[in-house]
Chain A
């Protein structure tokens, strides 16, 4: 029995000569909140479109809920929920009508639909707007109805493509809360984002992609420790001296770089070593003006992996 909810092997897709997704191996286990993180153009949407059957992979294999997902697979689709990136729905329908039409496609009985649709509208913050036409919805409201329609069938796996893109900060927080709400029901959530902070706040697992290549996959803690460079401690002294440098170099848990009156220590430990450092500097006759820990968190790890500035 396969417990992987999503499993791809060497999944590859090109647009003409541009390789959008390159031999991607992605595994998502049941009940994970799995973030799919990468800058714009990394290949997140292309990967997700292959997962839900909108694009055909050039090569590689693809399993969803243990089933081969290549081709037109309604049997898989009835068990997953998907929200496209910037979803577009028929403008002439109202929010309620849309959910009702889609609900019928899932063969949800009428009584269930009648109960579930208002609940969903409420959950995504569209209470009272269900009778308005989607053509009159703001961007944020379209995202919300997009989340609602992805949850209609009480899916085992929810795939959200940049659910908070284009939302204002308040809306982004609300979307995060919705995602947290979804997983309370025991579902698996796979969602893409180009925002590290968002992934950090919601997910337990993360896969980082750039230029179509998987850079890292694992828990959040693992990213910070494995993928990231060591922590840095920046130390500014009143006057640099050889004896201070010597004392710092003697420390077993760090390597040192010098620059004028500043020393940068690359720490190999996670312990708080500031007291030891300050004793060593004092003993060497130095006076510490400033001691500051820099980076070393997820942000640093992400930056070093992706190798470019985030917006």
Chain B
């Protein structure tokens, strides 16, 4: 048996590697980031050295960011080599670094949530479980909102998978064109699409239920160009990232070392 060559395997990787995968990577790299220092007690000698709390905090964030870049760089190279060997020559390999950057940024959104909970609770367990709760909550609420209420616009401004966009029409069935998620989780793929097809139009479909629970009707809730969608997701990711980090930074500055030895 021979596989049909797939020249888009690499960009496909950036499309599918999202959601729970990047969430778990975020948790794995940052659950101990600040909470671990509190838990082991090594925060005490650290904070009594002539390094400002701001520098300590910044150092932790930069270290998390670099760790994520390193993980994804490794993964990307692995995927590229694997795809070229198995699927043959690949399209748009020059855009892989952009995908890598988007993926890292997407993961940093969840990572900053983990860091915030870790800083507030000083517990890595709370950081991991608490952010998992947020992740599940956002996912469930998002699904309900989008499928039951036919509301997609709220998903544009939530972290995570976001709304599903389609290049095909919502009203025809089976749906034509390509579908992909457009949330902050998918920044890697979105940034690649931003370069490749900025003016392509994405339709966001909603479901409308008739009175008395009659069968739902699918309609086009909104339409945007890929450029708008990708840049909006980028802005949303940056706003979440900044807000979560600012709150963490404030919490870290205010934190006291009350634990008795």
Contact surface of A with B, Cβ cutoff 8 Å:
15, 45, 49, 52-56, 72, 74-75, 77-78, 82, 84-91, 102, 105-107, 146, 149, 153
Contacts and interface: CB of A to CB of B under 8 A. Distances in A.
B45 A54 contact: no
A179 to B, nearest CB: 19
A106 B50 contact: yes
Contact of A88 (B42, B48, B49, B54): B42
Given A54-B44, A87-B44, A89-B45, A78 B260 contact: no
Nearest to A52: B48
Interface string B33-51: 0000000111011011111
B40 A88 contact: yes
B67 to A, nearest CB: 16
B107 to A, nearest CB: 25
Given A84-B44, A102-B45, A49 B257 contact: yes
B48 A55 contact: no
29 contacts: A15-B258, A49-B257, A53-B47, A54-B48, A55-B256, A55-B258, A56-B256, A72-B53, A72-B54, A72-B253, A74-B51, A74-B52, A75-B50, A78-B50, A82-B48, A84-B41, A84-B44, A84-B48, A87-B41, A88-B40, A88-B42, A89-B42, A89-B45, A90-B42, A102-B49, A106-B49, A107-B50, A149-B45, A153-B50
B40 A105 contact: no
Nearest to A105: B49
Interface in B5-55: 40-42, 44-45, 47-54
Q: Which 3 residue pairs across A and B have the least CB separation, nearest first?
A: A88-B41, A78-B50, A86-B261
Nearest to A103: B49
Contacts of A74: 50-52
A48 B260 CA distance: 12
B40 A91 contact: yes
A284 B174 CA distance: 124
Given A56-B256, A102-B49, A105-B51, 14 more contacts: A49-B257, A53-B47, A54-B48, A55-B257, A72-B53, A72-B253, A77-B48, A77-B49, A77-B50, A84-B45, A84-B261, A85-B261, A88-B42, A89-B42
A105 B50 contact: yes
Interface string B49-74: 11111100000000000000000000
Contacts of A84: 41, 44-45, 48, 261
Contacts of B48: 52-54, 77, 82, 84
Contacts of B42: 88-90
Contacts of B47: 53-54
A85 B50 CA distance: 19
A78 B51 CA distance: 9
Contacts of B54: 72
Nearest to B257: A54
Given A74-B50, A78-B50, A87 B258 contact: no
Given A87-B44, A89-B45, A90-B40, A45 B260 contact: yes
Nearest to A81: B48
